Chains A and B, each alone.
Chain A
Amino acid sequence: MVNARRSPVPTVVSAVDVAFRAEWSGLVAVLRREFGDLQVAEDAAQEAFAAASRVWRRDGVPDRPGAWLLVTARRRAIDALRCARALDDRMAMLADAPPPSTDEVLDDQLALIFGCCHPALAVEAQVALTLRTVCGLSTEQIAHAFLVPSPTMGKRIVRAKDKIRQAGIPFDVPPIERLDERVDGVAAVIYAVFTEGHASSTGTTLIRGDLCDEAIWLAETTSDLLPAHGELHALSALCLLTDARRAARFDDTGAPVLLKDQDRELWDRAKVARGLDHLIVARRNEAQGAYRPQAEIAAIHSMAPCYGATDWSAIVAVYDRWLEADGGPVVALNRAAAIGEHDGSEAALAALAPLLDSGALDDYHYAHVANAAHLRALGRHERAIRAYDRAIAVCTNDAEASWIRAQRAQLIGDDPRLSSSE
C-alpha cells in the first residue's frame, strides 16, 4: 500500500488494465442492449476507458470501477445519439438509471457472444467480431494476429456489423431447442481462435500466443455463463491443457520441440490444474463432441512425469471410445500411433492395415509416413520405401515433402541392398 501511494500512476494504469479485462465485454453487452446498436456501444465503451485513464489518475480509482465506466459510457452514448438525432426518450432516461443487476449483465454478455457468433455470419467474420467486440482487441491487433492487412480486417468487421444491422441478426440467448447447436457454433469460434494462436505461434511472435489467452478467457467465460454445457468445459480443458505446454514447445532458437523431448518442468501447472477441473465438469455433464477426447489425451500427457511414463493404454482407451462415438479415419490413424507407443510397431501395423486397405486415407500423407516408419522399425525396408513413395506422391506441403524425401534417402543410405536396386 505504501508503494502504491508513492507511485500512483502505475497503479492507475494497472487498475484500468484490470478493469478492461473484467468489465469490457459486460459493458459493451449492456450498452448494446440499452442503445440497440453494437457500434454505439463499442464507441461509448472505448471512450469511457479513455476517460478512466485520465480521470482516475486525477481523482483516484473509484470504489466500483464498473459502475463508473457504465455511467460515463451511457453519457457518451447519449451525446453521440443526440448529435445524430437518433436519441429517443427511453434512451435519454438511461443517464440517471441504476446499473443493471449482475444477472442482467451476465445475460447481456451471453447474448453478445451469441450475436457475434451468429451462424448467418461467415465464420471468419464471427471470429473477428468476437475478438473485437467481446474481447476488446483493436482491429490492428486482430489483423496482426491473423497476418492480414489492417484495412482488410477493418472491412471484414464493418461488413459483419452492417449485416447484423441490416439483416436483423438478433442478440438473444437462443431458445432451448436451438441452444445446443448454437453453443457448438460458439465453441467452434473459440476453437478457431485457439488453433490460430497455437498452430503457428512461434517463440518470436508473441501476439499469436495472445490469441491463446483470448481463447482461454472466452472458453472459461462461456463455461461460467453456461455451466451445464459440457462441451464448453471440454473446450476450456483442451485449451488450458494444451496451452500449459507453451513455454516448452519451442527451444531458444524458436525451433519446435516435440512432446517427447519437452522439458516438463516448464509446463504451467496452474493451467494444468484448471484444465483438469474443467475436464471433470465436462465428464459430469457427459460432453459428447470431439473436444473431450482431445482434452482427455492432453490430460493423460499432463499427468505423466516424463514421456516414458505416459499411460498409453489409457490413451488407446480414449481413442477406442472416440472411434466408437464418431471418430473418422484420422482418429483411427492416431489410435494406431498410440498403439505403436504402447505395444510396438507390429501392433501398430496391424491397426493400420485395415485403415490403409479401406482407401479412406489414400491422399493423406501422414498415414503413409506412419506406415513407413513402422515398417522401417521392423526392418522391412523395401516396403518402407514404397510407403515413403506413396507419401511423397500425395504430399502437397513442400516442407513436409522434402522431410519425407530426406527420410527415404537416409533409409537407402542405411541399407546398401536398397541403393543397388535403385
Chain B
Amino acid sequence: MKYALLIYADPSIAPAEGTPEFGAEMEGWFNYSTKLTEAGSMLGGEGLLDGHTATSVRVRDGKTVTYDGPFAETKEVLGGFYIIDVENLDAAIEWAAQIPNVGYGTVEVRPVMEVPDQG
C-alpha cells in the first residue's frame, strides 16, 4: 500500500543551522532517504521551506482568494513529506518512527488514494 508520511514539527525547537545537532539531523535525513530507497519503498518525497513562505489559496464564489501563511496557524508546521510503498500500516508506522525529527515532531501517516486502473 502507498502512504504519505507528512512531517510536522515546531521550527522554533529544531536545531539551529551551523550547530552540531543541525549537522547530525541533516545526516539523519540523508541516511533515512538512502535506507528507504535501498528497501525499495521510496516513491518520492521533498522537504519544504519555512511556514512563513507559504501562501494559502481558496476559490469561493468563483473568486480566487489568497492569503499569507499556512492553512492552519499552529506551532507545528508541515515541513516535508515522503511517499512510500509498504505492505501495511504497521510497516508504515515503523518507517514513520524512524523519521529524523520525530523525536520532537509528529509524523502523520495517511494512505494514498488508489485510483483504479481504467485499462
Q: How many angstroms from the CA of A172 to the CA of B88 in the assembled complex?
A: 10
Counting CB contacts under 8 A, is B111 at the interface?
A: yes
Counting CB contacts under 8 A, is B38 at the interface?
A: no
* Residue-wise interface mask of B (72-99) relative to A, using a CB-CB cutoff of 8 A (1 in contact, 0 not): 0000000000000001111011000000
A20 to chain B, nearest CB (A): 31
Counting CB contacts under 8 A, is A258 at the interface?
A: no
Counting CB contacts under 8 A, is A168 at the interface?
A: yes
Counting CB contacts under 8 A, is B14 at the interface?
A: no
Q: How many angstroms from the CA of A167 to the CA of B1 in the assembled complex?
A: 9
Number of interface residues, chain B, beta carbon within 8 A: 10
* Residue-wise interface mask of A (40-59) relative to B, using a CB-CB cutoff of 8 A (1 in contact, 0 not): 00000000000000000000
Q: How many angstroms from the CA of A7 to the CA of B1 in the assembled complex?
A: 55
Residues of A near B89 (CB, < 8 A) are: 118, 120, 167-170
Within 8 A of B (CB), among A95-122: 118, 120
CB pair A170–B90 under 8 Å, yes or no, is yes
CB pair A174–B90 under 8 Å, yes or no, is yes
| Nearest CB in chain A to that of B110: its residue | A167
Q: How many angstroms from the CA of A170 to the CA of B109 in the assembled complex?
A: 15
CB pair B111–A167 under 8 Å, yes or no, is yes
Residues of A near B1 (CB, < 8 A) are: 168
* Residue-wise interface mask of A (156-183) relative to B, using a CB-CB cutoff of 8 A (1 in contact, 0 not): 0000000000111110101000000000
Q: How many angstroms from the CA of A168 to the CA of B93 in the assembled complex?
A: 11
Most buried by A among B1, B89, B109, B111: B89
Most buried by A among B87, B90, B92: B90
Residues of B near A170 (CB, < 8 A) are: 87-90
CB pair A166–B90 under 8 Å, yes or no, is no
* Residue-wise interface mask of A (128-151) relative to B, using a CB-CB cutoff of 8 A (1 in contact, 0 not): 000000000000000000000000
Q: How many angstroms from the CA of A283 to the CA of B48 in the assembled complex?
A: 52
B19 to chain A, nearest CB (A): 32
Residues of A near B90 (CB, < 8 A) are: 169-170, 172, 174
CB pair A166–B88 under 8 Å, yes or no, is no
* Residue-wise interface mask of B (1-31) relative to A, using a CB-CB cutoff of 8 A (1 in contact, 0 not): 1010000000000000000000000000000
23 contacts between A and B (CB under 8 A): A118-B89, A120-B89, A120-B93, A166-B111, A167-B89, A167-B111, A168-B1, A168-B3, A168-B87, A168-B88, A168-B89, A168-B92, A168-B111, A169-B88, A169-B89, A169-B90, A170-B87, A170-B88, A170-B89, A170-B90, A172-B88, A172-B90, A174-B90
Identify the 6 closest CB pairs spanning chains A and B, nearest first.
A170-B88, A168-B1, A168-B88, A168-B89, A169-B89, A167-B111
Please give the residue numbers on chain A whose beta carbons come within 8 Å of chain B beta carbons, in ascending order.
118, 120, 166-170, 172, 174
Please give the residue numbers on chain B whose beta carbons come within 8 Å of chain A beta carbons, in ascending order.
1, 3, 87-90, 92-93, 109, 111
